[in-house]
Amino acid sequence: MAGRGEGRKAENQEVFHRISIDFSTDLWKTGGTVFWRATTRLHDLEERLWRLERDQKALQLEWESAYDKLRTLTARFVKRAEQIEKHDAMENLGNASPTGLSTVSPTLDPVSRRILERRARYFQPKEEKSA
């Protein structure tokens, strides 16, 4: 009886060993290509993610640059509008020069004041002659 059980045990072990070898070689053959495909797909996804992040950063920098330009232009427009309003107010008082800047401003340095006075002499309004 002991011999009969051992023979069957050895036979079962041999069959199990053959199945495990076949399974591992089949797994290696198919698993290797599956593993290779998975690593290739993973590499492609990583590369795509890297490209998307790079493009997103470039787009963000481009937007920040455009926003800065827009903010600067808006500030210029506001400043110019204030100068025009100031000029119109001075013109209504009759105290404006043709250049749009007042020559009476106490904040101007002497050189700027002389330049504005010279411009005022050159650009004096001409009176039309009545016929």
Q: How far apart are CA 125 and CA 41, in angstroms?
A: 78
Q: What is the pLDDT along the chain (131 residues), one digit of tens a residue?
A: 455 556 677 677 776 666 655 555 555 555 556 667 778 888 999 999 999 999 999 999 999 999 999 999 999 999 988 888 888 877 777 554 555 555 555 677 888 888 888 888 877 666 666 54
* Core vs surface per residue 38-61: b (16+ CB within 10 A) or e: eeeeeeeeeeeeeeeeeeeeeeee
Q: How far apart are CA 112 and CA 118, in angstroms?
A: 10
For residues 117 and 92, is the Cβ–Cβ distance under 8 A?
A: no
